[in-house]
Structures are given as C-alpha cells and as structure tokens.
Structure 1
Amino acid sequence: MYKTMKSPLFLPLMGGVTLFSLGVTTTLTLVSRESSALESTPVRLTSTSTAASPNWPAPVATTAGGDAFVHAAAASVDAVVHVQTASLVSDQSNPWLSMLGMAGGRIAQGSGSGVLIDEAGVIVTNHHVIQGAREVRVNTSDGESHVARVVGSDPSTDLAVLAIEADRPLPVMTMGNSDKVQVGEWVLAVGNPLNLTSTVTAGIVSAKGRNIRLLEADASREVFPVESFLQTDAAVNPGNSGGALVNLEGQLIGINTAIASQTGSYAGYSFAIPSSIVAKVVKDIREFGRVQRAYMGIQVQSREPGVVVASTSPGGGAREAGIEGGDRILAINGIDVGSFPSLQEQLSKHRPGDEVRVKMQRGQTRRDVVVTLTNRHGAPTLNPMSSNTKSPNAAPQMKQLEAAWGVALIPIPDRIRENLQLRGGVMVTDLRNGAWAQQGIRKGFIVLRIDGSPVTGLQDVERAVARAAHGNEEGLLIEGMYPDGSRGFAGVAVPDVKP
C-alpha cells in the first residue's frame, strides 16, 4: 500500500510518501503491497543534482556471524505470517448503484506480513496493511490459511492486532528489548516481500529514534503520531510491512514499516517501529480495546537541539513536578532522550497514572524529578470507554440493533441454507422505515459478510457492530444474496446503541 505526502505541507496524495533531501528526491514508501490496479506512480520532485545514486553493498557475514544469522532465522521465520487483504474500491462509473444507495466497485487485493506473539493466534502487523480491508486472511508458515479478526488498531503508531483461530498452539516470536539495541548491531528482516513468503535479509542498525514524518499525513488525527523508528540497511520491499526485525538472538526488536526509496523498492534504508512501542500498544489494545496514551504536559521548542521545554500545561505532571520552560529533558527512567522522537518513544511505554523519573537540566544544574503522567485531559487516570470506543467484546443486544436499523433478522432457515449450499448467514424477515430499507435491501436478503467478516449467526452481527463502534467507524458494508442467487451489497450507518 502506498501513501504520499509532500513535505513540508503534509498533503495526503496517492503514490508514495515524498521527502525532500539536499540533492536527491527520496520517496518514503509504506511497505505493504497492493495489486497493480491500485498502485500509482509516486509523486517526486525533479532533482537538480547530477550525482549518481549510490550502489549499496550487501552485508557480508563472517563465519561466526553467519552461524548467528542461521540461529536467528531459525528462531523467527516460523512466527512470521503472510497477511492478505481484500478491499472494496468504489466504482464511480455506475450511477445507477449510487442512486439506489448500493455500493458499487471492485475488489483490490493487498498483502503484507505479521508476527505471531501469542500461541493462541494473536498477531501484530501494521495498521496500514489492514486499513480499509473488507477481508483479512493470514497464511501461516506451514501453509494453513485462516480468516483473521481485527482486534484493534492504532493509526498514530501504525500498529494493528489481529487474531486467528487454530486447532494447535502456534509458533511465536519472543519480544526483545529495543532500548538495548545499538547502532551498528546486526539484525534480520523477516517477511513476505513481493509475495515471496518467508524471506530473510540481513543488515545493521544505522540509526535510532528516527522521525521521518510518515504518520503526519492524516490531519484529522486527534493525537500526535509517535515516530521513533529504528533505521536499518536490511533489504525491505513492498510486502514486508508488518514483518519482523529481529536481533541475532531471534527476538523481535521492531515491526518493519517503511523504506526510503527513489524507485518504490529497496534503495538502502528501511524503518521499523521499536518493540518497546509495539509491546505497549499490543497490550493496551488487547486489554482496553484502545491505546492508553500518557503525557508529561510539556510543549517542546522545535528549533532547539535535544528536548528543551517551551512551556508546561496547567495541572500537568511536568508542572506539578517543578519543570519549567527552558529546562532540558535529558533522560526518562535512566534512558537518554536526545530528541523529541526518543522522548515520545519512552513515554509511549507508559499509561496515565504511571510515575517516571525525569533527569533534567536547568542552567548548569542537573537533577532528577518524579513526574506523574496523565491522559489527554490532564488526569492521571486511564481513559474510559466512551460510546464510540466500546471494547470489541462488548456487543449490543440484537433487539437494539433491529430497532435502530428498522430490520428483523433471523438465522438462515436450514432448507434455504442447504439449497444454496451456505455455511451460515442471517436472513431479513421484516423491514421498516430505516437504514436498511433506504439502501434498497428487501425481505429475504441473506447477510453473508459484514465489513469482510463472515456472518454465521446473529452473534456475528453483534460483534461486527461492536468492532465498528470501537473503531469510530461511521458505516458498515453489508454483503449477501437473495434466495434466487442474485447478490448485492450496501453501506449502512453504525447504529448508536449501547451494549
């Protein structure tokens, strides 16, 4: 999947993500992969430099290093999965479907990677890999294919959590500590680039705490994106998104996300989300259905090197701890923070209410203070679930949904199910003046999928609505057929009901 913005205006465009450099134009590309039908040429500026592009040498391993690579690959490759998505692309060329309120379009296929982190089938991948997908399937290293459920995602860190059901414990990858990663350290990138499954490449960590402004394209995002990427020269290509960056112990130290390129393919540098951020985001999504983001309550001077406080928020943890404008933040819990991205990375590991030890400098004096972190509203408490951010497990009652939609649904009768050779579904038996009738759905319609997830019974309808409400989505894509075999799909609003 490619996304483009032109720095410094941050305008979202289709293509790649274009950054400016001193002499060449660099395209920053999210490294999942969609079908060529969706891909467009990345937007670039014509370079005024006549310098040729450098030829990046492939890493050469020593004998000892080669043995370490073999060990790391063997410990990690089975835990990396192939994520395949299907997305509905609207077709503006059919006005009749639009007039009837029916969604028209075509299905675009996409692919990326993911990492198994729980033997029960929990997977972490990139948000952009599954964004907008109507169906997500996961292929494990043994060749088995599973329908995946999106547990939750966080656009501000570009992470998502999936779940699959398997009849056996699945191989998992051990979470490593990205805080201990050093520049120059050997790493492996494991993923499915260009649909080449279970591919392993090697490189070194070339920088830490890199802010590439990749996640600032969405101006509507309510929270500031967290960017503190590990930069490596391990070869990463489209399809690697969501795959693993591992150390020589075979531990997960990052999720591969983007490449800097002039061509849309690997050209020397790739970027991964550190495992310190990954572990916290995954834990929050699984426990709360959303990320519990913590704040110090400071504004930072953007033109100063390091982390220099411009001002503090009234009632925020920093002001309460005695931090003032002009102070320089040096470390959080003993870990140096030499830039705003590295400060973000350390804070992103915590929740509101946590206390952190902050090393600061005022003039020539250095001292430690304890700061109690808060939520966005300045309170040291966890963010409650609002009506628009319900837990994925909190499903509204079916009667409430039927009343809100103006529809009556029943499990598909056995006779019809057998005649149509269906595994499941729910049938519309009555319609009143509501969203479904307004979209042209008639009695007898059999709902087979909602937002790409199979519907086998009424409980699947409830879960789909709960997931949509949790994700702040405004609509659901209803897909199905009539008993005569004709098929149809329509978009309906997410009903405002409480579990």
Structure 2
Amino acid sequence: MLRPRPKPKCTRLLSGLLLLAAFASAQVASADEAARVRVIQNSLPAVVKIQGTPTYADAEQNTVWGSGFFYSADRIVTNYHVVEGLKGLTVTLNDGRSYPADVFAVDRGIDIAIVQVHGATAPATLKFSSEKSVLPGQTAIVLGSPFGKRNLVSLGIISGSGPFDYVSQLGEGDIGVEIAEVLYTDARVEPGNSGGPLLDAQGRVIGVIDAVLGGASGIGGLGIALPAPLVVESIHDLEEFGVPQRGWLGAVLVDLDELDPLTLRLAGLESAQGAMVDKVLPGSPAEAAGLLGAKRDRYGKLVELGDVIVAVNGKVVKNRFDVIREIARHRPGEEVKLTVWRNGQKIEVVVRLTARR
C-alpha cells in the first residue's frame, strides 16, 4: 500500500482552520456536501498538470498536456500516453508553480508512467484504496486539467467495471494491451484529464483516468479508469525492478478472423475464435515451451498455420488480446497451460513465463 507521508501537525492545523473559514464563508447546503468539499480541497494539492513539447512529426499542437498526482514526495503517476514522445516535461502544482520533470519508468502494457519531479516536494500525496472491488453507484470524483485548465473537478458515480478491448477500439498500438478490466464512470472526463485520479467519497484513489468511451463523458459517454490495484502493482514493480513484472509469452499472435476461412477449415478449425502463433521470438518462453510459429513464403503469404491458442488455463480466448491479457494476469516464473490446435488436434502446452523484455 502506497501511503502519503503525514503532514506536520502545525500544517494540518492551519489547513483545517483555512477549510473551516472557507466553509463559513461559503453556502454549504448539507453535511454531505461539506464532507465532499473537504475531500476535494484536501486532495487537489496532490494533483498536477503535466505538459511538454511533442517530438513526433504529426503533432497538431506545440504543447501537449495531461494530469497526474503525487503518490510520494517527488514522484507522480500518470498515463504513459500522456508523456509518450514529449520533451521538456514540466509539472505545474495546484498553486501555479512549475518544475522540471522527467520520466522515471513506464508500463506501456497498462498505459502507466512514473514521472520524477525535480526541485519540488509534494504539497500532498494521495492514498490508494485497498478495496478489491468497486461497486456501481459509489461516488466518483475526477480531478485534473481538462483542456489544460488546472484544478477542475467533476462528480458522478461508478457506472460499472469489466473488460475493455482498449487497443481495437482506441487504436493505440500496443499501449494498454495488458489491461484486463477497467472502471467506468459517468463523471465528466475530457482531454487533459488523462492520468488524473478517480477518487471515492473518502478521497482514496480507486482508479487512474485513462480514456473516454463513446464521445464526451457526461454527455452520453463514459470515462474509463485503470483500477487502483493494477496501478499499485505496476508502481511497486517499476520502482523495484524498473520494468513491469507481468507474464510474457514472447510470441507474435494473429487473430483467426484475419486469416482465410478456407485455410482454417482445411486445418480442421470450425471457429474463428482464438489466436495463431505467427512468430516465436528467440529466447522467449514460447520457444522454450516448443510453440510452433507459422510458415510463410518469401512474399509473406501464409503457407502453414502455426499453433492456434484456443484457451489459457482452460479459459476460452476469442482473440490475441484475450491471450495477452490472460498471460499478463500471471507473474514471471509462474506456469500457464495453453490449449493449442496443432496438426488437426488439441494438445496442452505448459509455458513458464518471464517478464516482458
């Protein structure tokens, strides 16, 4: 559990007096509203705006921004896609002061990055929730910098949770391919909120805002957040090892529905559910387990199917993303049992996983 460092008693007392003064001068309608305002006011100092200059050639703007928050004295967590391809990173605190920063470590698989801030100590840090599940209907508070405007808040509920085909729907290459489940919220989420915290009614981080599904959140769309347990695990691994520690197969996979249906029928496959091993990477767990890749001619045309993965530990998979996510649920050193279709029959292959290279 990543816990905020306690503030000095005098600082906490001063903060409390300032909040009481604010409540006294504001029109607070109820005890519930006062509690919510207190949570938000205590949390905002930990939230930052991140910005930098894009290095990619097709950038549509000179400055790109997103959100993040302090989880320790000099490090913040954000989305990988917020800092990808940026130079001259700066972090702006909620009081307007800006400091240089650089990327400490990244986890492309779940779209997370840790940013090291130079010359500043966190005014506050946020605590991750230890709850294993988040229930629909719970209060959801989003803090961040939508449209580059700092210190903005939106309020809603948790709409639900479940799997999300991040890659195929958002088209982000291999970013996020290892996300198994996400949280959905009707709290307003806009460009610039990415990387900011999703809080519960107690001010605990229950997720990290990552994307929007179906148009503007709050106008028919839904905000998408990475669940806190997944983010906490990633932060611990990045700080200890410098790289993610989720299971990795080491094979290039192709969805069966991308292949010629006649080729599948001739191989005895009656369904397009599953993923074919196209290439086995040298020195990978897939190679050590004896998985077979496809054979292609010099023009790249498929000549012979590779092993077709149809289940992982007995769980049927629909496509390559299912395979990757099921593998990523495991830690390096663990074994998984793959059910594969080879030479007209199903066989079981046991693979001992390693960390992604």
TM over 0.5: yes
Q: Taking structure 1 as reference, are residues 261 and 381 closer, same or farther at Cα in structure 2, changes over 3 Å only?
A: closer
Counterparts of 1:25-174 in structure 2 under 5 Å? 63=30, 65-88=32-55, 90=57, 108-119=62-73, 121-174=74-127
Q: Does 274-283 or 61-70 show the bigger shift?
A: 61-70
For 1:142 and 1:280, locate their aligned partners in 2 and report how far apart those are by CA, in whole Å. Answer: 30
Q: Taking structure 1 as reference, are residues 225 and 348 closer, same or farther at Cα in structure 2, changes over 3 Å only?
A: closer
Contact 1:206 1:231 (8 Å CA) reproduced: yes
The 3-state SS of whatever aligns with 2:230 is helix
Match of 1:205 in 2: 158
For 1:271 and 1:253, locate their aligned partners in 2 and report how far apart those are by CA, in whole Å. Answer: 12
For 1:166 and 1:178, locate their aligned partners in 2 and report how far apart those are by CA, in whole Å. Answer: 34
Alpha-carbon distance, 1:348 to partner? 5.1
Match of 1:457 in 2: none
Percent identity for Structure 1 against Structure 2: 27
Match of 1:258 in 2: 211
Query: Aligned letter for 1:274?
Result: P
For 2:329 and 2:45, locate their aligned partners in 1 and report how far apart those are by CA, in whole Å. Answer: 27
Match of 2:332 in 1: 352
The answer on 1:217 being equivalent to 2:171 is: yes
Q: Taking structure 1 as reference, are residues 222 and 123 closer, same or farther at Cα in structure 2, changes over 3 Å only?
A: closer
Contact 1:71 1:249 (8 Å CA) reproduced: no
The 3-state SS of whatever aligns with 1:279 is helix
Query: Aligned letter for 1:189?
Result: V
Counterparts of 1:475-494 in structure 2 under 5 Å? none
- Bigger proportion of residues as helix: 2
Contact 2:189 2:216 (8 Å CA) reproduced: no
Unaligned runs of 5+ in 1: 1-60, 92-104, 317-323, 331-339, 357-373, 385-499
TM-score, normalisation: structure 1: 0.45
Alpha-carbon distance, 1:227 to partner? 4.3
Contact 1:309 1:327 (8 Å CA) reproduced: no
Contact 1:254 1:275 (8 Å CA) reproduced: yes
Give aligned pairs, total. Answer: 269
Match of 2:202 in 1: 249
Alpha-carbon distance, 1:281 to partner? 1.7
Counterpart among 242, 245, 251 of residue 289 in structure 1: 242
For 1:230 and 1:302, locate their aligned partners in 2 and report how far apart those are by CA, in whole Å. Answer: 29
For 1:293 and 1:277, locate their aligned partners in 2 and report how far apart those are by CA, in whole Å. Answer: 11
Match of 2:307 in 1: none
TM-score, normalisation: structure 2: 0.62
Counterpart among 240, 262, 268 of residue 193 in structure 2: 240
Query: Aligned letter for 1:175?
Result: F
The 3-state SS of whatever aligns with 2:65 is strand
Match of 1:42 in 2: none
For 2:171 and 2:132, locate their aligned partners in 1 and report how far apart those are by CA, in whole Å. Answer: 27
Contact 1:277 1:345 (8 Å CA) reproduced: no
Residues 212-268 of structure 1: CA deviation (Å, up to 9, x unaligned): 43467355x499432411000011111101110011111111111111244698544
Q: Which has the larger radius of gyration?
A: 1
Unaligned runs of 5+ in 2: 1-27, 258-272, 277-285, 290-309, 337-349
For 2:60 and 2:190, locate their aligned partners in 1 and report how far apart those are by CA, in whole Å. Answer: 26
For 2:204 and 2:100, locate their aligned partners in 1 and report how far apart those are by CA, in whole Å. Answer: 26
Alpha-carbon distance, 1:293 to partner? 1.4
